[in-house]
A and B are shown apart, each in its own frame.
Chain A
C-alpha cells in the first residue's frame, strides 16, 4: 500500500528525522492516503543557544516575591485575565503547577515545554520565541475575588482564605466599564522588552489552561508609563506628559515594605510577601486632548509638559509645592489638578507599573482607541487605590479626557520556590 516509498533520508537516523520534523521550522508533507510520511527538504533544527549578553536579560522567576513587581519596568506588556471552567480545586492546583513550570522555563529563555519529537502531534511550544532573547520576561500571577466566591458560591472551598483586602473595586463616578473587560478568576501579567516574547508567554499559558480556564479579556501594552527603578528615566504617557516621576522606586526598600508588600499579620498567611494588583483600562480621548492649549494641559496635570517639573518649578524632580501661589493668590498647582489630587494623602501611595495601549481604531467614533492600561501594586487597596481613585474620579481635571473602561483586582501571592508553585500555600491550605 505504501507506494510513497519507505526509504530513509540519506545520512539521518529515523529518530533524528523525527526530531527535525517535530521541531518548528521543518517542512514535511503528510501522505494521508498511504502509510508514508513524505518529508520535504529538512531544515536544520533550530538551536536555542543563548546569545551573548542574554544571561543579563533573564529575570529570576523564583524568589520571595513574584517577579514583575519590583523588577525595573520592561517596555512591553501582555496582560490576560482568565475564568476557571473547572469545578475542581485539584484542577486549579494542576494549572498553577503547570503555569509555574512553563513560566519558569520561558523566563529563562527556554520553550514552554519539552521539545516535541512526534510528527503526529503539534509541538508543545508554539515556536515564535525561538531564537529571541529572554528580553527580561517576567510573569506575575494573581487571584481575583471570584476565585473565592462567585454569585455567593464557595466554588473551590477556599472562601475562608479570601483576604479582606481583596475587595471588588467599588463603582467610581464617571466609570464606563465594559463588563467583558473587567474581573477574572486569574490574572497574568507578562512583561518583556520584546513584545513577541510577552505575547508568546501569554499564548502558551492560555494553551496550557485550555480545558481548565478560558481567557476572559486580554490587553497588550506598549511603552511603559512609569519608572520603577532609579536606573530608569521617566517615560511619557500618551498625553505627552512624563508619568511616574514620584513613583515608588524598587530601591526604596522601606517604601516597598510600607506600601507594596503584604506583611505578616496583614491578613491570611498565604499572602505574606505578596501584593495586590489593580488594573484599570483607561481610554484617553486623545483627539480632544490634542486640541487643548498647552497651559490648560499643564494646569490639568499640574506639571510642565516639556520639563516635567511641577508648575512653577524648573526641574522634573523639584519638590511639588502645593502651597505655592501666583500673584492673585491662587494656587500655582490648581486645586483639581492630577498631581495635587494624587498626592494629597501620603498614606495612599502605590507602585505604578502601567503601559500605554492602543487597540486600533474605535469604529464608532473613528478615533484612536488608545490610552493607559493602568496597573498598580499595593499592600491594601482599601487604604490605597480605592480612596485615591475615588478622589480623582470626583475632581480630577483630567476626567474630561479619559474614561475608565476596564477594571480588575488580583491578589498576587508571594513568589514560588524551586519545586513549588505560585499560590501553593493557598491552594494546599498549608
Chain B
C-alpha cells in the first residue's frame, strides 16, 4: 500500500472488480488544517491525467461560487429554523424546516465529501447509533411525531454550529471539473435511491423540497459544464436540457404556494412517473463525463 497525499475533498470511488458497485474506499481520513490525508486501498495506485481546459477551469470556479452561496443560504435559513426551535415555536419550526434543507440538498455531494458533516447534519434515524444521532432529522422527528421542541435545544445549537463550520470548510474547498460531473449525477441518484420512496423525510413528508433541490443542484453543475460540452456534443446538451424541462414540469404539478404538497399526496403511479422522468434525465447526464476526456 502506498500513502498518497491528495487535496481535501477526496472521493475515492472504486469500481470494484467483478461487481461494478461503487464504493467509497478512502479507508481513513482526518481533517488537518484544510487537508485530507487519505489512504487508498486496492494495491498500487497509478494515475491518469484528466483533460483540463479554460472552459473546465471556469466551470469549476463558477460551481465553487454556487456551492459557497448555497452554504451561506443554508447557514442563514438554519439559523432561522434553530431560532424557532429554541423559542419553542413548533408551527414556525415546521414551516421553516423544508426550506432550510433546500440549500443543503442542492450541494449535498460536495458537503458529503467533507468528512463528518453529512452524518452530523443529515443522518436519518438508524444511520448512526442513537446517542450520536442529531441534525435535521432528529429535530424533524420531535416536531412531527411528538409535536414539540422540548429537549431539542442542544441538537438545534449543534446543528447550527455544524452548518457554520461547513460554510467555513467550503470556502477553503477546491473543486475540480470532475466533481461537477460526478456531483450532477449523484444528486439525481439521491432522488432515485432514497427520495422517491419518501424515506428521507419520513416524519415531515417534505420530500418534494429535497427532490426539487437535488434537481436544481444537479442542473447548477450541468449549466457550468455546458460551454465545454457544447463544443463536444451539442446533441447531448439538448437531450439533457429537455430532460431537466421534463422533470421540472412534472414537479410543478405538486407546487403549492411557496412550497410543495406533502409527499403523502403522491400515489404510487405519480411517484413512479416522477422516478422515470428522473431516470430519463440521469441517463444522458451520465455521459456528460466525456468533456473530461482529452
- A residues with a Cβ closer than 8 A to B are 1-9, 14, 17-18, 21, 24-41, 43, 85, 118-122, 127, 180, 207, 210-211, 214-215
Contact = CB atoms under 8 A, between A and B. Distances in A.
A35 B52 contact: yes
A33 B7 contact: yes
Interface stretch (B129-137, B163-171, B284-292): B284-292
Interface stretch (B17-25, B149-157, B251-259): B17-25
Given A24-B20, A32-B178, A120-B289, A210 B279 contact: yes
Nearest to A5: B47
Contacts of B277: 85
Contacts of B293: 118, 120
A119 B48 contact: yes
Interface string B1-41: 00011111111111111101000010000000000100010
A287 B11 CA distance: 52
Contact of B182 (A18, A26, A32, A118): A32
A3 to B, nearest CB: 5
Contacts of B45: 4-5, 29, 38-40
A222 to B, nearest CB: 24
Of B8, B10, B40, B182, most buried by chain A (CB within 10 Å of CB) is: B10
A35 B4 contact: no
A6 B9 contact: no
A120 B7 contact: no
A24 B15 CA distance: 8
Given A31-B6, A119-B48, A120-B292, A25 B179 contact: no
A33 B50 contact: no
Interface string B137-179: 0000000000000000000000000000000000000101011
Nearest to B180: A32
B11 A37 contact: no
Given A18-B48, A37-B50, A30 B12 contact: yes
B286 A37 contact: no
A118 B25 CA distance: 21
A31 B290 contact: no
B10 to A, nearest CB: 4
B194 interface: no
Contact of B47 (A25, A39, A210, A211): A39
Contacts of B7: 1, 3, 33-34
A184 to B, nearest CB: 14
B217 to A, nearest CB: 16
17 contacts: A3-B7, A5-B46, A6-B49, A25-B18, A27-B14, A27-B42, A29-B12, A30-B12, A34-B10, A35-B176, A36-B47, A36-B48, A39-B45, A41-B42, A43-B18, A127-B20, A207-B283
Contacts of A4: 4, 6, 45, 47
Interface in B237-253: 239, 242-243, 246
B6 A33 contact: yes
Interface of B: 4-18, 20, 25, 36, 40, 42-50, 52, 113, 174, 176, 178-179, 181-182, 239, 242-243, 246, 269, 276-277, 279-281, 283-284, 286-287, 289-290, 292-293
Contact of B6 (A34, A121, A207): A34
A121 B36 CA distance: 27
A37 B48 contact: yes
Given A24-B20, A38-B40, A211-B280, A120 B174 contact: no
Contacts of A30: 11-14, 178, 182
B248 to A, nearest CB: 15
Given A37-B50, A38-B12, 18 more contacts: A2-B49, A3-B7, A5-B46, A5-B47, A7-B47, A17-B48, A27-B17, A32-B113, A33-B10, A33-B174, A34-B6, A40-B42, A41-B17, A120-B293, A210-B279, A211-B239, A214-B276, A215-B276
Contacts of B242: 211
Given A3-B5, A27-B16, A118-B290, A33 B279 contact: no
A305 B181 CA distance: 61
A6 B49 CA distance: 6
Contact of B178 (A28, A120, A127): A120
A121 B287 contact: yes
A38 to B, nearest CB: 4
Contacts, number: 155
A39 B48 CA distance: 8
B4 A32 contact: no
A82 to B, nearest CB: 11
A40 B4 CA distance: 13
A199 B223 CA distance: 36
A1 B242 CA distance: 36
Contacts of B246: 85
Of A17, A27, A28, A29, most buried by chain B (CB within 10 Å of CB) is: A29
Contacts of A43: 17-18
A32 B289 contact: no
Contacts of B13: 29-30, 32
Contacts of A17: 46, 48
B176 A33 contact: yes
A41 B44 contact: yes
Of B13, B16, B176, most buried by chain A (CB within 10 Å of CB) is: B176
Contacts of B284: 210-211
Nearest to A36: B47
A329 to B, nearest CB: 55
Of B178, B269, B292, most buried by chain A (CB within 10 Å of CB) is: B178
A37 B25 CA distance: 14
B120 to A, nearest CB: 21
Contacts of A18: 48
A215 B280 CA distance: 11
Nearest to A85: B280
Nearest to B282: A210
B61 to A, nearest CB: 14
Given A38-B45, A39-B48, A119-B48, A26 B289 contact: no
Of A1, A27, A211, most buried by chain B (CB within 10 Å of CB) is: A211
A38 B47 contact: yes
Contacts of B14: 27-30, 40
A150 to B, nearest CB: 16
A151 B9 CA distance: 52
Contact of A3 (B6, B9, B11): B6
B170 to A, nearest CB: 13
A17 B47 CA distance: 10
A14 to B, nearest CB: 7
